[in-house]
Structure 1
């Protein structure tokens, strides 16, 4: 817009020196240069931080940037040039002009100021930070005219704010939503500039007075003021992407009573939401995120899906894609969870090489009615859930894999375990460092081929795993329960802990993507803990059965008259009854019913998160009901198993001793019969040989060496076993009543089916009460009876 000639009724005074007013103007302009430089540096730093963050996220794929000259040439901005130097255009002092001429000059100045150019009598003040633009009006201007000018100047200040916002947010670093918002504002600013051009045309025709200017500018004043308010709010909040849309949406609602303002905000929000909805549509319809400027509510992290099979703590499903709360538009807040899940489901199918095309795909357009978004996202979510669930259940055979894992880890395949334990018994007795894993793998393969497990299509996924620690240490680590001894074991070098193959043995299972989402390392670790627990119980049962077999063979020796012999048989049978009932409880009263519940829930599951939740709940319930999550019960049960193992070792070695004694007696008898009575030297030699044999056996028996006789040893085993079993029953009774663990009452009814242990508990309680009672000469009341073990009705 060319500048019109200034009125020349009074010739300008010639001046060879700068006046005081010009010196003050020069000082302000020099100050504005420094302020402008500081603001420019701040903007450049902000752009650099955003650019670095985006480049880091895009893994080296650098985003485009504007060339430096875009920021170095201030005349491209369209805003006031407050630091361009001292103006050489001398204006006639406004106070010397008549009122009509003052009004004409001011109208011309206002037309310049409204488009970001300083006038002669109205000039823009330098900016200080991000504050609104202020203006300096010639103080000699007529008071009435100055008052009207001050009413119009806020339009110019708002225009300056909007112009700077458009130029700043047009940089690549601020994201596509801000780009779209700036473009929509630029469209409105163009209409505003057309209005100013029309007013200039009237001014050139002499038809524009100050009053008319004030009248014509008022409709645009409200629009530019709202634009400036939005620009300031976005700047202060450092809004990008979804946060910008939230601000615009909330502002639209705030203007509910002002239809013009609300219509303006709706126009801006609809324009700004277009790129965001494009990202959203690609995510919920195809499972792809294309978000180079980090604006979307879902953020992608660089995680390898292969790690889910290796790392126990890897949370691929939870951490590969996460919701960024700041980037959730307020009108999508309620649907954020479903938006995340929808894209995740489709992403899994897409990563498996299947093309995903949502049949209900429809363009999403911004509206104040949230119902439109809800319906569209619900449709996409239902489709994605159905596709992934069908993919896992039918094509990847998830349930069949879970049944295969149950067959091996939860000992569902009985004949396989008989073959396997028979084949590996000698190998697993060795220290873990002496075991050859390939030999175990070969024995596993042989056991699989010899049993009905040979028909399992997934049997080749079963592998051998020798763990660096025993089951109790593993469980206590998981439960974070550490005594001083356990803490020392945890921090000890694994090579210093001498584990047998039996203690370290476990199965492992090869799971491929995408089944590893459900059967991940965390789930497999739970399966391994259950398996190791049951495998050890099965081992103890086999040892007790071996004792029974050896006892049957020992009956041929004249030992049945010994008192301890009946006690040993009774104790063995009690131990066997305990171990077998515990196994029956775990297999048929915990795992089997819980498994049927899992299968039923899987059939009714509507999405993969339901499947994941049901599977995790199944494993957690099994661990809890098998007493593996309670450290107190776990420790008591471990002591009981240790007593049983020590007893079997003792009985096996004692039976060997009896066999040796019988064999020596038989040989002596044969020798005496054939060669006549033995000589004294032969008798002495025989006695020495027997003594050496007994000494050798005594060195290899754990408990008998602490007792003076075998009878005392058996009695000690009986006492320890009974004490630990009573302790276990008392704790089970306490937990079943206080923690409402009703399943544990079933264990009590199995182990104490005839009330034998309940009577012993009552007797012990009565004895403790008598000992605790004070010794006084007055008659004592009868001791209070101990609480009975809670046993459900048979």
Structure 2
């Protein structure tokens, strides 16, 4: 029997048809191979790559595969298995035949198998793992095992190469799965980048196959020499694929099967009768389990993909290969994300079809709701960050934020902001919001992008952040210029201050005098048209300067409840966020609430009178319904004080003459009662005047000057909005309108003063009746009633005065 040589195997087994070689080796393992002329053999020391180049020039000397029609038509027919069945008996026979084959022949056989295995195809001597099936998670890859009859020295080398087949199949499955539309543009870009890397791997395999077919000295050692750098590269991609696949939090099949088995016929019938059939109840239970386990049901896409890649890059920063690989994947996958960001910060348009970006839009909120928006929804909620954070670190808008992943603790999908953009997220949000407001005004945004906007920039490029800063600065300055200069924001605010803060007291006094009779009616029966006509008449007479321009925007309205009842209702609201004494609750009044109580005690028009101010977009962002509500609180507070002051002053005028000035020596009890009435009226008038002077001179005016100083130095639109709201909140707090204890005592005291003034005619009647019985003072039957009536006012006033004096919030009120 002739001996075997590697050249025989290389020249025969690598050129014969695959099925013929397999059948020949199984049936006749001892057959001799045709010798090849020594001169035809290649140089033993030549390099494989050099040989590949030379062989490409001499392809005309090689035999063609065209004549071998069976190989051309189905080159992998003998390798691909249909279904799940495998020819176990035949494979076992082939594996056993390896024992009788010399080591060189085994190496040649296993080399051919490896070239298939590296593409995920099962070989003759390298087969699928026994536990592998088509139901196995494809992202885990296909595991291969080597025939136990193979020589141990070859097995060790083959097992080093085998992970490449697992990596390749897993990565290919990942690309096939994540290329669907639902996974978004970032996943598509990531798959395209990985696909490009796999092309290099496939090119390497084609070169190795060519060397295997043409170079007799090609061995396992040479194969390992060329593929071992690729093993590390594909292992890095494989680990990334596993992490991206495991972050989806797939539901456990076991739990679903157990819950399925728990339904019996009786229980199912009962649930159907209740309208919660088996399918509905399972959906409810799955939703509940998802909330408890942190399964949001959102695919891994957008910012979450970029965050995972970046975290892996940081954790393996000491590995140059990993650092370069993940850096490339981060740049490629982040390209669509960066392009969406550029479109948002340069045009104000949000183009995010798969909800991958850190900014989200509530499309049902538009500028039309500004007329009835008491919560600034257009500005604060139309465009928000998906993670729910705000620049003021408020927890107010946390609704709708998806739960964090059970694995990794990250927010899912677009709610996960890439770490590189974490410090820039608020500027990104505001830049787009500013431009969106400008675009809503009908102004074309013709700003040319900087050079970095046209380049393929990435999130690890410093120029990209210079671009973001430039876009934010441009958007902020453009909108600020529009508000302050073009829309005359500061003159508007000054007009609001003059009208609502009673800086022009003659305007209010004139209006109250003209509408005296109308304001004594109930709020439900008063004529708004008549009051508006009287207001216009007053404004035409008393307005001057800037007020003439904006006087048409001032309107008369009627609130449905009293000021103090409304404020106490707001302060006592339970379960609302951001309810504290420094930040009034941003809610609308509910005219239907406590309707029965309002019917029993009708509110007078003077107690419900308030002013409204109409502004157009975009000024309505600054002078919004939320800020107008604060202005109305302050106006009604000052108006009530002014009205009580006028009533007490009118009472004083009436008590200057007539029976009040007659001294009756024989009726000492009447004289004491009269002096006590004068004293109580003076105390009430002094208190009201002190409060009114304090509110206007020591609260409103100083805070307004502070606001003007801030407006002169304002640099951002967000700061402008915040300064305006802070000014109003400070005024409300210092005017004692945000403390429940103080407001209760203060409202009782003011109501006591106004009620005392309403009884002016009653006191006049009592004084006249007392003088009528001057001749018989001991027989005056009503004197005791007069004292009791006056004592109730004195006791009430002194009680609430003491309560106010003891409040810590009034320690700065020197007149107390």
What's the TM-score bracket when you normalise by the shorter of the two chains? 0.7 to 0.9
Query: Structure 2 matches for 1:710-749, cutoff 5 A?
Result: 710=786, 713-731=789-807, 734-735=808-809, 744-748=812-816
Confirm or deny that 1:334 pairs with 2:396: no
The separation in 2 between residues aligned to 1:496 and 1:363, in whole angstroms, is: 70
Contact 2:770–2:783 at 8 Å: present in 1 too? Answer: no
**Structure 1 residue 193, shift from structure 2 partner:** 0.6
CA contact under 8 A between 1:559 and 1:565: conserved in structure 2?
Answer: no
Provide the rounded CA distance (Å) in 2 between the counterparts of 1:629 and 1:234. Answer: 51
Residues 256-271 of structure 1: matches in 2 within 5 Å? Answer: 256-271=317-332
Secondary structure, counterpart of 2:373 in structure 1 = coil
Q: Distance in 1 between matches of 2:472 and 2:429?
A: 9
Residue 630 of structure 1 and its aligned partner are, at CA, apart by 1.6
Residue 567 of structure 1 and its aligned partner are, at CA, apart by 3.3
The residue that corresponds to 1:143 in the other structure is 152
In the alignment, is residue 247 of structure 1 matched against residue 308 of structure 2?
yes
2:123 aligns with one of 119, 123, 127? 119
Residues 1:352 and 2:420 are matched in the alignment: no
CA distance in 2, matches of 1:429, 1:596: 36
**What aligned pairs does 1:364-383 form with structure 2 within 5 A after superposition?**
371-383=462-474
- Cα distance in 1, alignment partners of residues 681 and 24 from structure 2: 128
Uncovered stretches (5+) of structure 2, i.e. residues with no partner? 1-13, 29-74, 249-299, 388-414, 575-589, 774-779
Contact 2:452 2:467 survives alignment (8 Å) = no
Shift of 1:255: 3.2
Q: Which residue of 2 aligns with 1:322?
A: 384
The question of whether the paired residues in 2 share the 8 Å contact of 1:554 and 1:659 is answered with no
The equivalent of 2:490 in structure 1 is 399
Alpha carbons of structure 1 residues 628 and 81: separation in structure 2 relative to 1, 3 Å: farther
Aligned to 1:310: 372
Query: Over residues 477-499 of structure 1, what are the superposed CA-to-partner deviations in whole Å (9 max), with x where a residue is unaligned?
Result: 221179xxxx9x96454545421
Superposition pairs for residues 43-442 of structure 1, below 5 Å?
83=83, 85-86=85-86, 93-97=94-98, 98-99=101-102, 100-124=104-128, 125-127=132-134, 128-129=136-137, 130-205=139-214, 206-238=216-248, 239-302=300-363, 303-325=365-387, 326-358=415-447, 361-363=450-452, 371-442=462-533
**Change in 2 beyond 3 A, CA 1:144/1:706:** farther
Residue 441 of structure 1 and its aligned partner are, at CA, apart by: 1.9
Higher helix fraction: Structure 1 or Structure 2? 1
For residue 161 of structure 1, report the CA deviation from its aligned partner. 0.9
Match of 1:625 in 2: 734
CA deviations 1:243-265 (Å, max 9, x no partner) are 11122222223333222332222
Task: Give 1:234 shift.
Answer: 1.7
Match of 1:583 in 2: 692
Check 1:607–1:84 CA distance in 2 against 1; reply closer, same or farther (3 A cut): same
Deviations 1:540-563, CA, capped at 9 Å, x for gaps: 111111112222342597467651
Higher relative contact order (CA 8 A, sep 6+): 2
State the alpha-carbon separation in 2 of the partners of residues 281 and 577 from structure 1.
63
| Partners of 1:556 and 1:136 in 2: CA distance | 116
Which residue pairs with 2:679 in the alignment?
570
In structure 1, distance between residues paired with 2:305 and 2:714: 37
Give the TM-score, by structure 2 length. 0.72
RMSD: 3.3
Query: Secondary structure of 2:813's match?
Result: helix
Deviation of the 1:349 alpha carbon: 1.1
- Deviation sequence 1:287-332 (CA, Å, 0-9, x none): 2211101111111112122223313235322211121243311111
Alpha-carbon distance between aligned partners in 2 of 1:294 and 1:529, rounded to the nearest angstrom: 41
- Greater displacement, 508-517 / 470-479: 508-517
When residues 406 and 144 of structure 1 are mapped into structure 2, their CA distance, relative to the original with a 3 A threshold, is: same
In the other structure, the counterpart of 2:392 is none
Report if aligned partners of 2:804, 2:810 keep a CA contact under 8 Å in 1: no
Contact 2:141 2:168 in 1 (8 A): no
Inter-partner Cα distance in structure 2 for 1:248 and 1:102:
42
Are the equivalent residues in 1 in contact too, given 2:660–2:674 (CA < 8 A)? no
Aligned CA distance change for structure 1 residues 536 and 207 (closer, same or farther; 3 Å)? same
Match in the other structure for 1:615: 724
Deviations 1:73-92 (A, max 9, x none): xx9xxx98673655699566
Name the CA shift for 1:428/1:9 in 2 (closer, same or farther; >3 Å): closer
Paired positions, count: 635
Tell me which moved more, 442-451 or 601-610.
Answer: 442-451
Q: Distance in 1 between matches of 2:461 and 2:734?
A: 46
- Aligned residues of 1:543 and 1:645 also touching (Cα < 8 A): yes
Which of structure 1's runs of 4+ aligned residues deviate more than 6 A?
A: 79-82, 657-662, 704-707
